[in-house]
């Protein structure tokens, strides 16, 4: 790495030449404490409000059974629905139900074969709805935080025009700092991660907001209640 050493040498000289002004004047403000149980409802409300403000749709807090019913209804007119692996939720049950309803589905299976990978992408590009589960949801901005893993590819929340993202109610955190802390530095050093705040959008023509430019045109979110009681 000859180049690095050259650059570092230049930088050191430069740093000395332009004597630094006093470093960090103040520590960043302390983090908001993590939510406790009684605070959950408030977090969900805030999340839902922010999500709708950026053009997403909040489909409610549903039990797993209700979630499945809702997804089957959403998938009714789809030519193909892609379903990723869950984080805390068993998405196999969802896939089975949509399949039973007669809608073609595709699942995500890790592969090391380049051809299988290419075939997966081509199929995914034809799906008009994709279901994924987020690792966390961020209340203050209406954001979903999704890791990329072998059976949870990033294109699942990118290519299909209709994106549906599930998140477990216990995984809603107050703000971005809390989400990054929950992931931890090791996880983020090992995997890609995407923060998704609403459907894809642009304001490049006269600063007018248009939803659905390259990524999903719609983003629906279901907060899943873990018990069917």
Partner 1 sequence: MAMTAGSTPRDFFQASAAGAADHELRRKLENASARHLAHFAEVRGEFTPYEDERTAARAIKQEAIGRLDELLIDLTKRLEAHGCKVFFAANAAEAREHIVKLAQTSGAKRIVKGKSMTTEEIGLNPALEAAGMEVLETDLGEYIVQLRREPPSHIITPAIHLSKEDIGNLFREKFGIPYTPEPDELTAEARERLRESFLHADLGITGVNFAIAETGTLVVVENEGNGRMCSTLPDVFVAVMGIEKVIPKLADLPHFLEILGRTATGQKLTTYTNFIQGPRAADDLDGPRDMHVVILDNGRSAMLADPVLREALMCIRCGACLNVCPVYRHIGGHAYRSPYPGPIGSIISPNLVGSAAAHLPFASTLCGACKDVCPVKIDIPRILLHLRWKETSGPTPPEWPAAARRARAGARRFARMARHPRTMRILSRIAAAILKPVAHDGWIRRMPPPFGNWTKLRDFPRPRPRGRRAVKRQDAEG
Using CB under 8 A as the binding rule, the residues of this chain from 138 to 197 that contact partner 1 are: 140-143, 148-151, 153-155, 158, 175-177, 180-181, 185, 188-197
Partnered with residue 173 across adjacent β-strands are 138
Closest contact distance (angstroms) between CB of 105 and partner 1 is 16
Beta strands at 172-173 and 210-211: parallel, antiparallel or unpaired: unpaired
Closest contact distance (angstroms) between CB of 111 and partner 1 is 6
Q: Which is nearer to partner 1, 37 or 122 (CB)?
A: 122
Report the 10 Å Cβ neighbour count for 158. 17
Piece of the chain touching partner 1 by CB under 8 A; list 34-42, 65-73, 128-136, 199-207: 199-207
Q: Which is nearer to partner 1, 57 or 201 (CB)?
A: 201
Question: Tokens for 124?
Answer: 């995914």
Question: Tokens for 34?
Answer: 């993590």
Report the 10 Å Cβ neighbour count for 64. 17
Please tell me whether residue 45 binds partner 1 under the rule CB under 8 A. Answer: no
- Which residues have CB under 8 Å from 172's CB, separation 6+? 35, 40, 43, 44, 47, 136, 137, 138, 139, 223
Piece of the chain touching partner 1 by CB under 8 A; list 37-45, 66-74, 88-96, 104-112: 104-112
Q: Which is nearer to partner 1, 68 or 120 (CB)?
A: 120
């Amino acid at each position: 790495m000859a180049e690095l050493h050259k650059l570092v040498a230049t930088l050191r000289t430069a740093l000395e030449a332009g004597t630094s002004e006093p470093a960090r004047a103040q520590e960043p403000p302390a983090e908001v404490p993590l939510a406790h149980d009684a605070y959950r409802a408030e977090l969900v409300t805030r999340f839902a409000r922010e999500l709708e403000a950026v053009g997403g749709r909040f489909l409610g807090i549903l039990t797993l059974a209700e979630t499945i019913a809702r997804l089957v209804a959403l998938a009714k007119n789809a030519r193909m629905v892609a379903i990723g692996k869950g984080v805390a939720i068993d998405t196999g049950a969802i896939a089975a139900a949509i399949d039973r309803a007669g809608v073609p589905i595709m699942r995500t299976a890790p592969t090391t074969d380049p051809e299988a990978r290419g075939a997966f992408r081509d199929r995914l590009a034809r799906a008009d709805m994709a279901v994924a589960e987020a690792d966390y949801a961020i209340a203050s901005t209406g954001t979903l935080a999704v890791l990329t893993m072998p059976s949870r590819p990033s294109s699942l929340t990118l290519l299909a025009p209709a994106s549906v993202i599930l998140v477990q109610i216990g995984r809603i955190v107050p703000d971005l700092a809390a989400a990054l802390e929950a992931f931890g530095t090791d996880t983020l050093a090992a995997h890609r991660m995407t923060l998704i705040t609403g459907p894809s959008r642009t304001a490049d023509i006269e600063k007018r907001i248009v939803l659905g430019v390259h990524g999903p045109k719609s983003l629906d979110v279901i907060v899943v209640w873990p018990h069917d009681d």
